């Protein structure tokens, strides 16, 4: 993103986080929830549902073309093969679908209606994903938005925009970076970011030791 947009979203996210902390403290004080309830939710997104799941899925797709095809054809079934602790129940995980970047296509994920997001594979959505400006511009001028994220897309490459909803929640299988021949799935997964699985970043090649 542009520096101004980053600053704008950082400020809004900080203000939102402060409100959430204040509300959490009030609800605990009033006995509506317990501190252990909050800890349980946080633990879920740290250990069960999060971008580490998506990274493992992408890494497997990179090393196994047959698995990648199954992932694109029937995403929930292919994910189930890896036996991840995704917490698949609920709309956030029941209707996921994957699309793959390639030499002639780049995919961008947005949600024009709200902030529908595949939580089990990407974790909690960043604040800017929910921003009406991002949601609207992602449809109207996706190449401009990608440039602001530091991803300039050649005019010779098709940009496909996928609109997540309660009926289907998309994520991207990014292209495998160069200089990763011989990497294990674990090493490959460590390179994958949530932003790359949203299409607003590329997976960076490993730096030389």
Q: pLDDT digits over 59-92, tens only?
A: 999 999 999 999 999 999 999 999 775 654 554 5
How do residues 116-133 score in pLDDT, each as one tens digit?
A: 889 889 988 888 999 999
| 114 belongs to the catalytic site | yes
Convert 64-74 to b/e letters by CB count within 10 Å (16 or more is b): eeebbebbeee
List 35, 37, 114, 184, catalytic entry? 114
Listed range (28-37, 112-121, 134-143, 195-204) with the worst mean pLDDT: 28-37
Count of the separate structural domains present in the chain: 1
Tokens standing for residue 183: 């990497």
How do residues 153-177 score in pLDDT, each as one tens digit?
Answer: 999 999 999 999 988 999 999 999 9
**Range 18-30 burial, b when 16+ CB lie within 10 A, else e:** eeeeeeeeeeeee
In the residue annotation, 111 being an active-site residue is answered as yes
pLDDT score of 209 more than 60? no
Does residue 16 sit within a domain? no
Assign residue 112 the CATH number of its domain.
Answer: 3.90.330.10
pLDDT for residue 123: 87
* Averaged pLDDT, 96-115: 94
Higher per-residue confidence, 43 vs 104: 104
Q: Is residue 204 part of a domain?
A: no
Q: Is 99 helix (H, G, I), strand (E, B) or coil?
A: strand
Token look-up 């704008």 returns 8
pLDDT of residue 86: 61
15 found inside a domain: no
**Whether the predicted pLDDT of 35 surpasses 90:** no
- Active-site position among 116, 164, 165, 184: 116
- For residue 84, the model assigns a pLDDT of 76
Residue 104: per-residue pLDDT: 95
User: What's the pLDDT score for residue 49?
Assistant: 60
- pLDDT more than 90, % of the chain: 59
Per-residue confidence (pLDDT) for residue 59, from 0 to 100 = 97
In a domain, 124, yes or no: yes
Is 164 a residue of the active site? Answer: no
- Say if 188 falls within a structural domain: yes
Lowest mean pLDDT among 27-36, 72-81, 104-113: 27-36
**What's the rounded mean pLDDT across residues 138-152?**
96
Residue 18 belongs to a domain: no
Helix (H, G, I), strand (E, B) or coil at 163: strand
Q: Which letter does DSSP use for residue 32 in this model?
A: S
The three-state secondary structure class of 79 is helix
Q: Which two tokens stand for residue 168?
A: 């289907």
| H or E segment and range at residue 105 | strand 105-110
Catalytic residue among 111, 154, 164, 165: 111
Reported as a pLDDT band with limits 50, 70 and 90, residue 48 is: low
Q: Mean pLDDT in the chain?
A: 82
Average pLDDT over residues 17-37: 51
Task: Please pick, among 16, 115, 165, 184, the residue that the annotation labels catalytic.
Answer: 115
pLDDT attached to residue 50: 81
- Note whether residue 175 is domain-resident: yes
Residue 172 domain-assigned? Answer: yes
Domain span holding position 145: 48-198
């Amino acid at each position: 993103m542009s520096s101004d947009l980053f600053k704008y979203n950082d400020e809004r996210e900080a203000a939102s986080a402060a409100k959430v902390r204040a509300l959490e403290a009030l609800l605990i004080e009033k006995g509506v929830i317990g501190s252990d309830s909050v800890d349980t939710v946080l633990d879920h997104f740290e250990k069960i549902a999060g971008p580490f799941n998506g990274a493992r899925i992408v890494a497997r797709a990179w090393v196994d073309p047959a698995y990648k095809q199954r992932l694109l054809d029937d995403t929930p079934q292919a994910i189930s093969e890896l036996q991840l602790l995704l917490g698949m129940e609920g709309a956030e995980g029941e209707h996921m679908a994957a699309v793959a970047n390639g030499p002639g296509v780049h995919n961008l994920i947005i949600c024009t209606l709200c902030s529908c997001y595949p939580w089990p594979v990407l974790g909690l959505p960043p604040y800017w994903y929910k921003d009406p400006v991002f949601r609207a511009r992602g449809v109207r001028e996706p190449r401009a938005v990608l440039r602001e994220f530091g991803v300039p897309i050649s005019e010779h490459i098709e940009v496909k925009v996928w609109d997540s909803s309660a009926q289907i929640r998309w994520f991207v299988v990014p292209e495998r970076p160069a200089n990763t021949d011989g990497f294990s799935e674990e090493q490959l997964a460590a390179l994958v970011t949530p932003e790359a699985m949203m299409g607003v970043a590329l997976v960076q090649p490993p730096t030389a030791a």
